[in-house]
Amino acid sequence: GSTIGIIGGGQLARMLALAAARLGFKTAVLEPQENCPAAQVANVHIQTAYDDKEGLEKLSQLSDVITYEFENIDVSALEKLSSDIDVYPSAQALRISQDRLVEKTFLQKSGLNTAPYRDIDNAQTLESALQEFGERGILKTRRFGYDGKGQIRFSGKPDDMLPAEAIEAFEGAPAILEGFVEFTCEISVIASRGQDGNVSCFEPAENIHKNGILFSSTVPSSVSEATKQNAIDEATRLIQALDYVGTLGLEFFVMPDGSLIANEFAPRVHNSGHWTEAACSVSQFEQHIRCCIGWPLAKQHRHSDCVMENLLGHDIEKLVTLAGDPNIVLHNYGKAEAREGRKMGHFTQLATRK
């Protein structure tokens, strides 16, 4: 059978490898960390840095197609790899998602609404942008931010950082200021597009974040049917505009009138789609593998209402207690060290069957 090469060896790669194995495909993961979550289940572990030339070459020799679970890959290295082997999603999709300024511009160009944003390069541009946005907003690094890291909030109150202090804290990292969005809730859509161009979306999940980290995803969400359909339509528009192959996660803010503001997308399977492994006939991971291998997308079907919760740090120890509940589907990523805030596993509570 074919081998799927995965750049990155965290929990997303692990779950992709599990889905691939079920369909009879092999996986090779490239990840510097020893005994990483994916290495425990993949067929091959290439233990080098993500941008190591020889490692990437070895991965491409071992694989029939390459994908990634890790977004901070050097785009030019990925482009180069693409001349030897099929890489999904494309380097172009990665390039757009890596930079919040480019990403927001692309979202708008594709017809999606975003929060207002300004390119920030010094204290002066920050000060005037804050003035424009009523002294409220979020300064975000353009690159490498995740789980709410690389963000400074301005709430228009006296204990806010001064613009000059914030610029200093960013140590020259390129940034944008986003206007503060007064949303009623957050939802996300997991969308997949096959090599044949067909698109399939899971219905939106409603997401709760704590300390900038995803805490739970609930399906069905509390939004109206019209808003659900809009979210799916917008995700479809984006994935087509990107000429994307594979699965992506698109996050939205839902406004009081039900309209949507697109926040960001991730060019990979997404934490807010982990519920699909427990509540659907086919998961986001299998859909992604199908895209990589050139299979048709499954007409997935959700058989249960559910809530997925992340297990951070020592919360992973709850797994044993949860194991007694017949309506809970468990997932442990196999990470040795339960550092605070680290994603260690998750569980999905299915609604009790009638």
Task: Show binding-site residues.
Answer: 100, 140, 145-151, 178-181, 186, 209, 263-264
Contact residue for ligand ATP among 35, 146, 165, 184 (CB under 6 A): 146
Size of the site for ligand ATP (CB under 6 A): 16
Q: Does 174 bind ligand ATP (CB under 6 A)?
A: no
Angstrom distance (rounded) from CA 14 to CA 285: 10
Tell me the residue type at 87: V
Q: Does 38 bind ligand ATP (CB under 6 A)?
A: no
Q: Does 148 bind ligand ATP (CB under 6 A)?
A: yes
String marking each residue 259-278 x if it binds Mg ion according to CB under 5 A = -----x--------------
Query: Which residues, other chains included, contact 315 with Cβ-Cβ below 8 Å and sequence gap of 6+?
Result: 344
Residue nearest to ligand ATP (CB): 181
String marking each residue 194-233 x if it binds ligand ATP according to CB under 6 A = ---------------x--x---------------------
If contact means CB under 5 to 8 A according to the sort of partner, which of Mg ion, ligand ATP, none does residue 99 touch? none
Q: Does 119 bind ligand ATP (CB under 6 A)?
A: no
CB of 181 to ligand ATP, least distance (A): 4
Q: Does 250 bind ligand ATP (CB under 6 A)?
A: no
Q: Does 297 bind ligand ATP (CB under 6 A)?
A: no
Question: Between 203 and 264, whose beta carbon lies closer to Mg ion?
Answer: 264
- Token pair of 181, please? 């969005």
Question: Between 149 and 303, whose beta carbon lies closer to ligand ATP?
Answer: 149
Question: Between 212 and 258, whose beta carbon lies closer to ligand ATP?
Answer: 212
Q: Does 147 bind ligand ATP (CB under 6 A)?
A: yes
CB of 80 to ligand ATP, least distance (A): 26
> For the chain, what is the HEC assignment?
CCEEEEECCCHHHHHHHHHHHHCCCEEEEECCCCCCCCCCCCCEEECCCCCCHHHHHHHHHHCCEEEECCCCCCHHHHHHHHCCCCECCCHHHHHHHHCHHHHHHHHHHCCCCECCEEEECCHHHHHHHHHHCCCEEEEEECCCCCCCCCEEEEECCCCCCCHHHHHHHCCCCCEEEEECCCCCEEEEEEEEECCCCCEEECCCEEEEEECCEEEEEEECCCCCHHHHHHHHHHHHHHHHHCCCCEEEEEEEEECCCCCEEEEEEECCCCHHHCCHHHHECCCHHHHHHHHHHCCCCCCCCECCCEEEEEEEHHHHHHHHHHCCCCCEEEEECCCCCCCCCCEEEEEEEECCCC
Question: Between 64 and 264, whose beta carbon lies closer to Mg ion?
Answer: 264
CB of 98 to ligand ATP, least distance (A): 11
String marking each residue 46-65 x if it binds Mg ion according to CB under 5 A = --------------------
Annotated binding residues for ATP, written as ranges, equal: 100, 140, 145-151, 178-181, 186, 209, 263-264
CB of 71 to ligand ATP, least distance (A): 9
Residues of the shown chain interacting with ligand ATP in the complex, contacts defined by CB under 6 A: 115, 138, 145-149, 178, 180-181, 186, 209, 212, 251, 263-264
